[in-house]
Amino acid sequence: ENVLTQSPGTLSLSPGERATLSCRASQSVSSSYLAWYQQKPGQAPRLLIYGTSSRATGIPDRFSGSGSGTDFTLTISGLEPEDFAVYYCQQYGSSSFTFGPGTKVDIK
Amino acid sequence: QVQLVESGGGLVKPGGSLRLSCAASGFTFSDYYMSWIRQAPGKGLEWVAYISNSGSTIFYPDSVRGRFTISRDNAKNSLYLQMDSLRVEDTAVYYCARRTGGNRAFDYWGQGTLVTVSS
């Protein structure tokens, strides 16, 4: 199983600041198969980024993804009030999907 | 618009069974691979089953293989999850989700249905 580790566990920032979230895999991940999701309390996850760097439909351009191999990054260029949430990375490989444990972005 | 609506959750005793359903609308269901993904209370996301658009390809993680069965009825635009030999640790909100075309991500999710396994 390809285990995903996310850091930090919690990121405390102010609106307008830049957020950098890390996702590290125990085995190499195809860049086509790395995604990021946002989840708010009581809601289902929402797809933000797929294929490492492609934004899903309706996702603002302040969200960007990058990386390759085992190290991937989600960047939020300037936090809006609605961006405070939990973020998960997810990979596919060897007929299996795994999610990272999540990074909570909260208001400082 | 794309809609996925889960149903069938509830309280069940350890060792019991439950069948979840997911009604899909707003897209050509038979064109898409689908999955079930769960989230234990206060915890992260865990993938539990995956089925191809025709139903011919199915994957499970080790944690549920042999106990859970995913299926679909394309004529009824519906996805199912039969859960047997339930354990306390299967307690979670269960989401059905649509897989994207080529990138193995999940672009639409239902609102989830809560399964509680407790004596």
pLDDT tens for each residue of B68-86: 999 999 999 999 999 999 9
Q: Are A89 and A98 in contact (CB under 8 A)?
A: no
H or E, element range at A73:
strand A63-76
pLDDT tens for each residue of A20-56: 999 999 999 999 999 999 999 999 999 999 999 999 9
Q: Give A-chain residues touching B100 at CB under 8 angstroms.
A: 47, 50
Q: Are B115 and B90 in contact (CB under 8 A)?
A: yes
Q: Give percent above pLDDT 70 in chain B.
A: 100
**A10-13/A103-107 β-pairing:** parallel
* Interface contact A47-B105, CB threshold 8 A: yes
* Interface contact B107-A88, CB threshold 8 A: no
Q: Give A-chain residues touching B92 at CB under 8 angstroms.
A: none
Round to whole Å and give the CA distance between B72 and B68.
Answer: 14
A78 CA: distance to closest CA in chain B (Å): 24
Q: What is the mean pLDDT of chain B?
A: 97
Chain A residues touching chain B at CB-CB below 8 Å: 1, 32-33, 35, 37, 44-47, 50-51, 54, 56-57, 88, 90, 92, 95-102
Is the predicted pLDDT of residue B102 greater than 90, yes or no? no
Q: Which residues of A27-57 are buried (b: 16+ CB within 10 A; e: fewer)?
A: eebebebbbbbbbeeeebbbbbbbbbbebbe
Q: Give B-chain residues touching A48 at CB under 8 angstroms.
A: none
What per-residue confidence (pLDDT) applies to B101?
79
